[in-house]
């Protein structure tokens, strides 16, 4: 449940470093949840980080939407894929809302694909496709950064 007080950040980064990383990293967020049969589920989604929250978009009929409606608790990670490794992980809860104008999806297409001029964007923006937003309200956040002890490849 969101509050006006920011969630404390554990690890080497302060809140401004965390925000800068999440604004600059154009990688998906890895999101983990439970299924209705108490199994584990993980997937990657595009995200935008704003006001201490993650915002994701997906189709209204996606399995993850059904799972999160049953149990809104999640774990997440955003990290770079190449050394030196660094990133953010945590836990939180989600809220799901319709996005009939696909406003968030359009912003994410700009962020990850530099616009809406692609076959993928056309398919995702199809008028018959219902879209939702997934807002992740973190309840626990930690950062890690191995740049000081892990050289880049070739160094």
Residue 4 carries which DSSP code?
Answer: S
* pLDDT single digits (tens) 65-86: 999 999 999 999 999 998 899 9
* pLDDT single digits (tens) 131-145: 999 999 999 999 999
Question: What's the pLDDT at 78?
Answer: 98
Question: What's the pLDDT at 6?
Answer: 79
* pLDDT single digits (tens) 32-72: 999 999 999 999 999 999 999 999 999 999 999 999 999 99
The answer to whether the CB of 85 falls within 8 A of the CB of 144 is: yes
Please tell me the distance from the alpha carbon of residue 10 to that of residue 100, in angstroms, as a whole number. 37
Flag whether pLDDT at 1 surpasses 80. Answer: no
* pLDDT single digits (tens) 99-132: 999 999 999 999 999 999 999 999 999 999 999 9
**What's this model's pTM, rounded to 2 decimal places?**
0.92
Please tell me the distance from the alpha carbon of residue 30 to that of residue 144, in angstroms, as a whole number. 16
Residue with tokens 């070739």: 154
């Amino acid at each position: 449940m969101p509050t006006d007080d920011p969630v404390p950040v554990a690890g080497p980064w302060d809140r401004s470093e965390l925000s800068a990383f999440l604004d600059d990293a154009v990688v998906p967020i890895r999101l983990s949840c439970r299924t209705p049969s108490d199994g584990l589920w993980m997937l990657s989604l595009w995200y935008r980080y704003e006001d201490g929250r993650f915002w994701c978009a997906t189709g209204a009929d996606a399995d993850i939407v059904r799972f999160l409606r049953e149990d809104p608790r999640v774990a997440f990670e955003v990290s770079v894929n190449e050394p030196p490794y660094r990133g953010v992980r945590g836990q939180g809860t989600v809220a799901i809302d319709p996005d009939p104008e696909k406003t968030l999806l359009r912003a994410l297409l700009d962020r990850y694909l530099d616009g809406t001029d692609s076959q993928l964007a056309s398919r995702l923006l199809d008028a018959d496709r219902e879209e939702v937003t997934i807002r992740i309200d973190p309840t626990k956040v930690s950062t890690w950064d191995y740049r000081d002890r892990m050289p880049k490849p070739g160094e």
